[in-house]
Amino acid sequence: MTSDKQFCSGFQQARQAGCLSDLLLASPAEWLDKPLLRYRSSDGEWNSWSRIKVQQAVLRLAAWLEFKGVRPGDRVGILGHNCPEWFIADFAILRLGAVTVPAYFTDPPEAVQYVLDDAGVSLVFVEEGDQLHKLDGVDVERLPFHGDAESISTITCDEQWDNALKASCPDRSQLATLIYTSGTTGFPKGVMLTHDNILSDVAAGIGGVPVFEDDLFLSFLPASHAFERTVGHFLPAACGSQIAYAEAITTLLRDMPEVSPTIMISVPRLYEKIYAGVQAKLAAGPGLKRKLFNLAQKLGMERFELRQQGSDLAGGKALLWKILDGVVNAKLREKMGGNIRGFISGGAALHPDIARFLLAADIMVLPGYGLTETSPVLSVNRMENIKPATVGAALPGVEFKLARDGELLVKGPMVMQGYWKRPEETAEVFDADGWLCTGDIVEMDDDGFITIVDRKKEIMVLSNGENVPPATVEQHLNQDPCFLQSMVIADNRPYVSALIVPDGAGLAAVWQQEKFAVLPDDWRQNSEVTAWVLQRMRHDEHDLSSFMQVKRFAFVDEEWTQDSGLLTPTLKLKRRKICEVHHALIESLYPEAVEE
């Protein structure tokens, strides 16, 4: 059971903290013996460290770093997967008053080395194995860790030093971290965030979505990204909650039922995959199963809307819902651990149909919005007031206004200090009155709820002058069980086309259901399949203007991944790189231009 007292403890913890390390080290006494960090050990079992054990490890490591010569303001790197040692290293660095510089474990060596060099890092905590090899040839001291929490103790096992930490706590105005932007275009920039920036965002986040002592987070997004770092790292530390570390994004389906999390932080790609998987299974299953699912969705959405108004289903509908929920939705929730209180979605806009699908299945999803430059969360849907097509209203302390072209401008204590060593680029993102220009074109309703249209720089202009927001089109396509991924091409072109990464199994199942035949072996080049896929696209895009609808497409053989360098750590498309890789394929979609 949760309580207002539990919520207030976390909120006050964030509001009153003198620095970020206080979220851990100034905990209420009743939290000390409770589990804080959970991880899978080498024998496959889940182990945990209590809060007091983590506190002791943080203070010892901070003192050891001080002994090694690290001083307030020095930059210290972390490179590795999410794990207890990542958490401990970060809090130790921050307690010392040094600056944490996280690098993305999915980045290639040259990208990692660029970040460490640009930040002036001289010492880095690095996961052994492939991550350690990324530092080959780099003049930086390395502190290897294993990913199982225990190796932090071995780092400081030397008996020839005084483990008393001498440095005083940093104050809220000091620089806490440099978080490098994902770099969808150009070189990444180091976003300068102070202790106050992040603490303000943590407090605002708790004010928007209350988090309690008995909540359990399952962490899988990179902790090097601002979204996971603030909401899945600092925020649970402030609230006395537990954090369990998924072994990898590929193990989520195994880890969720084992951990039974109550809260998860994710990007839309996870929900898109869940939705597409359900749709593919329905397409391959009997008609009765699809009818029951559709009925459960319809009734579930009616129930959701009533509950948002403080009411509920009654009589026969309530009984029917109970039966359908047990038959249709319960298994889906069980695969997620059966205990989810809320999914917080960020990093990109979530398609409203996918949000409605989850909400109708009694899976609370809360779309939100933010930027690395704002620590990062600015808005989120509240559990008692969800508008699925939006990313919610401003968090407490956040101010929004719209520029003439629809760009969202923001002010608040969570807004960054600027870009590291880039004063000119810092000046470019602030207007004359000090508002941060987000670069996102949005719409705002009368209640202050924000709907994302697209990135200002990514809006494409057809050769006839029509504006095409690619993310909007891609959202419509990505909900189709036949497609794993899509990327729109439109800029300076006569019409919209798309590259499609197909879901072979999903496509075969839907074809079987609709055509009552086996998918042809040559389906990638088959004209009948091509025509059928275009028909599906028309259906997916039925509510878009005709000029925004895809006229031609091409299948791509391999899924775009972080390892291939075609996705950012939050699974956004690196459009420029994808265009470079598939240049010939893209040009084949515009034969008229070739003929000219």
**4 band by pLDDT with thresholds 50, 70 and 90:** low
The strands making up 242-245's β-sheet, listed across from edge to edge, are 46-50, 35-40, 242-245, 216-219, 263-266, 342-345, 365-370, 377-380, 393-394
**159 band by pLDDT with thresholds 50, 70 and 90:** low
- The Cα 219–Cα 262 span in angstroms is 12
Task: Check whether 396 has a pLDDT greater than 90.
Answer: yes
pLDDT digits (tens, 9 = 90+) for 10-27: 667 777 888 999 999 998
- Whether 31 and 37 have beta carbons less than 8 Å apart is answered as no
pLDDT digits (tens, 9 = 90+) for 540-577: 888 888 889 999 999 999 999 888 889 887 778 889 89
Largest pairwise CA distance in the chain: 76
pLDDT given at position 68: 92
Task: Check whether 121 has a pLDDT greater than 70.
Answer: yes
pLDDT given at position 594: 43
Mean pLDDT of 406-435: 96
- The Cα 408–Cα 400 span in angstroms is 7
pLDDT given at position 186: 62
Task: Check whether 596 has a pLDDT greater than 80.
Answer: no
Determine whether 430 is exposed, middle or buried from the number of CB atoms within 10 Å of its CB (0-12, 13-18, 19+). middle
Q: Cβ atoms within 10 A of the Cβ of 288, count? A: 8
The token pair that represents 353 in the structure block: 């149909």
pLDDT given at position 403: 95
Q: Which of 141-155, 265-279, 416-430 reaches the highest mean pLDDT?
A: 416-430
- The Cα 199–Cα 26 span in angstroms is 14
Rounded mean pLDDT of the chain?
Answer: 91
**532 band by pLDDT with thresholds 50, 70 and 90:** very high
- The Cα 178–Cα 418 span in angstroms is 10
pLDDT given at position 253: 86
Domains of the chain (ranges, CATH numbers): 7-208 (3.40.50.12780), 269-338+340-455 (3.40.50.12780), 460-595 (3.30.300.30)
Lowest mean per-residue pLDDT among 181-190, 458-467, 539-548: 181-190
Task: Check whether 232 has a pLDDT greater than 80.
Answer: yes
- The Cα 149–Cα 145 span in angstroms is 8
**502 band by pLDDT with thresholds 50, 70 and 90:** very high
Task: Check whether 3 has a pLDDT greater than 80.
Answer: no
- The Cα 380–Cα 359 span in angstroms is 15
Provide φ and ψ at 412, rounded to 5°: 160, 165
The token pair that represents 231 in the structure block: 């909401």
**183 band by pLDDT with thresholds 50, 70 and 90:** low
Listed in sequence order, the residues at least 6 apart from 596 whose beta carbon sits closer than 8 Å to its beta carbon are: none
CA-based radius of gyration for the chain = 25
* Residue from 352, 459, 442, 350 nearest 400 by CA: 442
**270 band by pLDDT with thresholds 50, 70 and 90:** confident
Task: Check whether 110 has a pLDDT greater than 50.
Answer: yes
pLDDT given at position 595: 44
Listed in sequence order, the residues at least 6 apart from 391 whose beta carbon sits closer than 8 Å to its beta carbon are: 346, 349, 367, 368, 369, 379, 380, 381, 449, 450, 451, 452
Task: Check whether 379 has a pLDDT greater than 50.
Answer: yes
pLDDT given at position 269: 81
**Helix H or strand E encompassing 155:** helix 151-155
**Helix H or strand E encompassing 35:** strand 35-40
pLDDT digits (tens, 9 = 90+) for 45-57: 999 999 999 999 9
Distance of CA 48 to the CA centre of its chain: 24
Task: Check whether 7 has a pLDDT greater than 70.
Answer: no
Q: Cβ atoms within 10 A of the Cβ of 318, count? A: 12
Lowest mean per-residue pLDDT among 52-56, 57-61, 106-110, 304-308: 106-110
